Structure formats: C-alpha cells, structure tokens
C-alpha cells in the first residue's frame, strides 16, 4: 500500500471518527503544566490530568496526532526506525471502553481493506507476562486470538517490554500490548514472534491499558479509573506501508534530503 504521511494521518483520524472519537489538536512540544519532564515524549503526557479523572471538554473518546521529542531512545536515533522528533498517532478512552474494544478496533484499522489492509500474516503481538505488581494479561491474549492472531504469534514479555509508564516518577500506568510488523526476509516461520525473533519484527503500535497508579513509594496500586492510551509512530507506519526499509526513505524526509543533495552536489 503506497501512502503519504499526510494521507495516513488523515486516514487514522477518520477511522476514529467512525468510532465516535473527537479529534483534538496536538499540544505544544514543551509541556505547559507538567514539571516532571522537559518535553512531551509521548501522546499521553498532555492528557495526564484527564487520565487522573478531570473531565475533558471533548468527552471520553479522543484521537490525535501529538508532536513528541523522545529522550529515552536517543542512543538509537539514526537507525532505520527511531527519531528524536516525531508524530505519535493515538486514540484515548477516558474511563470509557477498555481492552475488548481497543484490541478489536486496532486490528480492524490495520487489516480491513478499507483502512490499511495489512496482511494478518505480517502481524504479531506481545502481552504482559505478569510479575509481583500485576498479573499476566491473559485477557488481552484471548482477545487477540478472537481477532485471528494464532498462538505462535502471541508472545508474553515482562515489564521492560510490556508495561507503560508512568511518564514521570509517579502517575497512571499499566500493562500494554504491542503490535509488530514482519520486516524479515520472506515469510515468518511458525517459531517466529517478537519474543523469539525480535530483530525481524518492528513494533508499530502500542495499546496501554492504564489500570494502575504508581505512587511515591514505588507501589503499583489499582486505579479507580480504567483508561486506554495508544501510540503509533506516524513515520514508522508510513515506512512499512510503503515497503521501504528506513524512515528516511519516506515522504517525511524527501524534500529535506533533496535539498541537502542539491546543496552538497551529490546523492546521499
């Protein structure tokens, strides 16, 4: 599927409108009222007050394309899939729907012919394996199975891989389920999934199920509200949809690279 970044951004927002989401504008890159971070590093940060219970003027179902500056991935910037500044596509449930709808709709957007039309054979997922702070997320695994994801494409991983947040030292957080796209040669083997063959699977979407709050003691407590926070890197999904092997080969960078080549008098 050939698609530009502008077309994908619009398609994503149009999809969530069909699910009764209100489209909100990107917040500034520098947080306005959050002393815990220097930059908005994820789509959820401008929405923390609403994830904690404040009513959002647009309602309980939101979608956006948030401008982000990523600091935790700086050592990886310059490879084929990481950027310091990028746009994060996201949808939100503020104590509205939870895992069932989030997973089913993510699968629909990725695989339905009228949306991204990605072959299910190119997709795999990971879910939280559980630890002393929270149980194994069998519910998410079962919901992926209902979508048609075979058991060998579902990997259970620990907190390092499948737990999101909080954005600062304290705040809302929870287990996540990540969606991966096959970037290896040929077709993936039956033994291959993001847990056993991580080099050949690229994460494209992360659905966070915020059912916990981390306090100042480092304890993970059940939250009174259940929120959904998802994030899909715009530049990364454009890369895989266009069948190129690096974000720098997409339209996002085409004009800049062409100008640099003109100034340098050589092709890069």
What pLDDT sits at residue 75? 72
Q: How confident is the model at residue 113 (pLDDT cuts 50, 70, 90)?
A: very high
Which of 125-129, 138-142, 182-186 has the weakest average pLDDT? 182-186
Continuous H helices in the chain:
5-17, 48-51, 99-111, 138-147, 159-162, 234-241, 251-264
Dump the DSSP string for 25-77: PPPPSS-SS-TT-SS--STTGGGHHHHTTPPPTT-SEEEEEEEEE-STTGGGT
Instruction: Kindly state the average pLDDT of the residues 75-95.
Output: 81
- Measured CA angle at 71 (ends 13, 255), to 5 deg: 55
As a whole number of angstroms, the distance between CA 210 and CA 224 comes to 10
Share of the chain above pLDDT 70, in %: 96
As a whole number of angstroms, the distance between CA 183 and CA 192 comes to 12
For residue 72, give both structure tokens.
């935790």
**Residue 196, beta-bridge partner list:** none
What pLDDT sits at residue 143? 98
What pLDDT sits at residue 251? 79
218 phi-psi bin (left φ>0, alpha ψ -120 to 50, beta other): left
Nearest to 68 by CA among 204, 180, 231: 231
As a whole number of angstroms, the distance between CA 120 and CA 107 comes to 9
For residue 209, give both structure tokens.
């199920």
Model confidence pLDDT, tens digit, residues 203-233:
999 999 999 999 999 999 999 889 999 999 9
- Look at the block and give the residue holding tokens 């050589």: 266
Model confidence pLDDT, tens digit, residues 239-250:
999 988 888 878
What pLDDT sits at residue 155? 98
């Amino acid at each position: 599927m050939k698609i530009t970044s502008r077309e994908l951004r619009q398609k994503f927002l149009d999809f969530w409108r069909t699910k009764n989401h209100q489209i909100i504008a990107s917040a500034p890159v520098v947080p306005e009222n959050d002393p815990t971070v220097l930059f908005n590093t994820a789509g959820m940060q401008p929405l923390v007050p609403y994830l904690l219970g404040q009513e959002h003027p647009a309602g309980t179902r939101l979608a956006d394309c948030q401008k982000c500056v990523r600091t935790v991935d700086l050592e990886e910037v310059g490879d084929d899939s990481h950027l310091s500044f990028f746009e994060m596509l996201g949808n939100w449930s503020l104590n509205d729907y939870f895992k069932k709808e989030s997973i089913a709709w993510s699968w629909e957007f990725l695989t339905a012919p009228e949306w991204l039309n990605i072959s299910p054979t190119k997709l795999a997922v990971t879910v939280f394996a559980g630890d002393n702070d929270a149980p194994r997320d069998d519910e998410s695994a079962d919901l992926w199975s209902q979508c048609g994801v075979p058991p060998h494409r579902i990997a259970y991983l620990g907190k390092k891989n499948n737990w999101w947040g909080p954005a600062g030292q304290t705040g809302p957080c929870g287990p996540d389920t990540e969606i991966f796209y096959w970037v290896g040669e040929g077709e993936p083997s039956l033994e291959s999934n993001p847990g056993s063959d991580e080099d050949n699977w690229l994460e494209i979407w992360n659905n966070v199920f915020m059912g916990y709050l981390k306090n100042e003691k480092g304890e993970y407590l059940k939250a009174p509200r259940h929120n959904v926070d998802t994030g899909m890197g715009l530049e990364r999904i454009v890369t895989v949809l266009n069948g190129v092997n690096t974000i720098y080969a997409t339209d996002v960078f085409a004009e800049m690279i062409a100008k640099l080549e003109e100034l340098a008098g050589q092709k890069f």
